[in-house]
Amino acid sequence: MNEELTGSPVALSIGQLYDRLDGALNATFPVGTTLWVEGELVKVTSKSGHCYLDLVDPGDRSRTPGVLGAKCWQRTWTGIQRSLSREGITLRAGMTIRVRGEVDLYRPRGQIGFVVSELDVTSLLGQLAMARAELIQTLKRDGTIGKNAERPVPDLPLRIGLIASRGTEGCSDFLGQLASSRFGFEVSFVNSLMQGATSAQSVVAALDQLGAIAPPLDVIVIVRGGGAKTDLTAFDDERLARAIAATPVAVWTGIGHTGDESIADLAAGRSHITPTACGGALVEQVAFVHHQVIDAAEQVLRGSESLLRDAEVDIERRRSEVVALSVAVLEGARRSIRASVERIERAVKHVVDRAAEHLVHTTRLARASGLNQQLERGFSITRRESGQIVHDVLELKQGEVLTTQFASGTVTSTVLTVDAEPKPKETR
């Protein structure tokens, strides 16, 4: 019975309403028709292997923009995720992406959605590359890139601040270089996250911690072994680049494999292709200075030996001259010659004695110049826990832990009391 006969409006059932909606959708988007849609990601979630994307129009700046709920089923999402990982891409809010799929009506909730069958990785790569290039240019223009390179590095960089993930291969490779060198490196280690959403923030916090150490460290090193491109995205973070520039100590990096260059590498004072190469560069610089000191010592020794030989030759020459002169005038002036000979012999002995004393003094200085020789002579060195040498008892405080080094070993002690003799008053 129609509306005119009954006087009541015709009502559609829910099923009939959805049938009409399906019909309208199928008329506009026939079954099997796919189309490309571009939108800005506002939310990315995964559940049971499926991926759910909330997209809005990038040009819609209203307070309540229309949201398209897109879903990518597990079978399709697995392949897309593999492609993204291969290119080092992690989907996150704020990205503009292009997806292809079909419009559908989800009847249980009355929602019009979008089933994704493809994601344009090439387009997304281009956007990311362009954004990265623009960030690098910005950091160059404002001086962020290049600022840390102005931080001086001591000739002997032995006090090292290390930012790494404890127990990883990259951390072990770096420390192995220092340990095998047998040089006295002192490492202040801060364990940090090296991948994941919070890794950049973790490294920034570690830089702040090491940069505040007094006296300042010689070099701060950030190392991480290689991995997938997605594992290294934290090192392209703008916050990390600016933190490196603001660090008052020279920052060196050894991140990834050969060929990987992050924005953190560009901002650092010096970058290396691997953690091993970074450790090797520190060892090489210390070894260079070490060899310079050894060469200088050898030059002093050779010079001393040369002076000694010249003195011996001169003494022998003078003695020969005296003998020849004595023989030539012996018959005519024996007594005079004898007196002269005695006088000359005394002079020669004096020269010899002085040369010998000089040689002994030089030899003693050479032997006594090393730390071990000073310790063997009975001296000792007392240091604080920080490694600082104690010069004055007035510097000490009750409860401090001290380490005293002797020739035969070390002793650790705790200050119980400090008794200092009063200094004599000055008199005018």
pLDDT tens figures, 171-199: 999 999 999 999 999 999 999 998 877 88
55 and 181 housed in the same domain: no
Residue 278 belongs to a domain: yes
280 and 300 housed in the same domain: no
- Half-sphere exposure at residue 157, Cβ-oriented, CA atoms within 13 angstroms: 26
If you search the block for the tokens 């004695």, which residue do you land on? 353
229 and 152 housed in the same domain: yes
If you search the block for the tokens 């200075």, which residue do you land on? 289
d(CA 403, CA 390): 10
108 and 212 housed in the same domain: no
Domains held by the chain: number: 4
Structure-token pair, residue 340: 């002269």
The alpha carbons of the chain give a radius of gyration, in whole angstroms, of 41
Q: Give the number of other CB atoms < 10 A from CB of residue 97.
A: 22
Q: Which residues contact 367 (CB under 8 A, 6 or more apart)?
A: 373
CB 305 within 8 A of CB 358: no
168 and 272 housed in the same domain: yes
The values of phi and psi at residue 387, to 5°, are: 95, -5
Q: Which residues contact 420 (CB under 8 A, 6 or more apart)?
A: 393, 394
Residue 330 belongs to a domain: yes
At CA 145, angle to CA 141 and CA 147, rounded to 5? 105
pLDDT tens digits, one per residue of 298-312: 788 787 777 888 888
If you search the block for the tokens 């506009």, which residue do you land on? 28
281 and 301 housed in the same domain: no
User: Pick from 130, 152, 168: which residue ends a domain?
Assistant: 130
233 and 187 housed in the same domain: yes
Residue 350 belongs to a domain: yes
d(CA 44, CA 124): 16
Query: Does residue 75 have a pLDDT over 90?
Result: yes
pLDDT of res. 205: 96
Q: Which residues contact 301 (CB under 8 A, 6 or more apart)?
A: 366
Residue 1 belongs to a domain: no
User: Pick from 82, 107, 130: which residue ends a domain?
Assistant: 130
Q: What is the mean pLDDT of the chain?
A: 84
Structure-token pair, residue 52: 């759910």
- 150 against 60, higher pLDDT: 150
Provide the residue range defining the domain that includes 181: 144-286
Residue 93 belongs to a domain: yes
d(CA 43, CA 71): 12
215 and 270 housed in the same domain: yes
pLDDT of res. 1: 44
Domain of residue 229, CATH code? 3.40.50.261
Residue 138 belongs to a domain: no
CB 389 within 8 A of CB 382: yes
108 and 91 housed in the same domain: yes
- 151 against 406, higher pLDDT: 151
User: Pick from 237, 259, 286: which residue ends a domain?
Assistant: 286
DSSP state of 63: S
Residue 5 belongs to a domain: no
328 and 405 housed in the same domain: no
By three-state DSSP, how is residue 138 classified? helix
Domain of residue 72, CATH code? 2.40.50.140
426 pLDDT tier (thresholds 50, 70, 90): low
90 and 162 housed in the same domain: no
By three-state DSSP, how is residue 24 classified? helix
Residue 135 belongs to a domain: no
224 and 348 housed in the same domain: no
- pTM, rounded to two decimals: 0.51
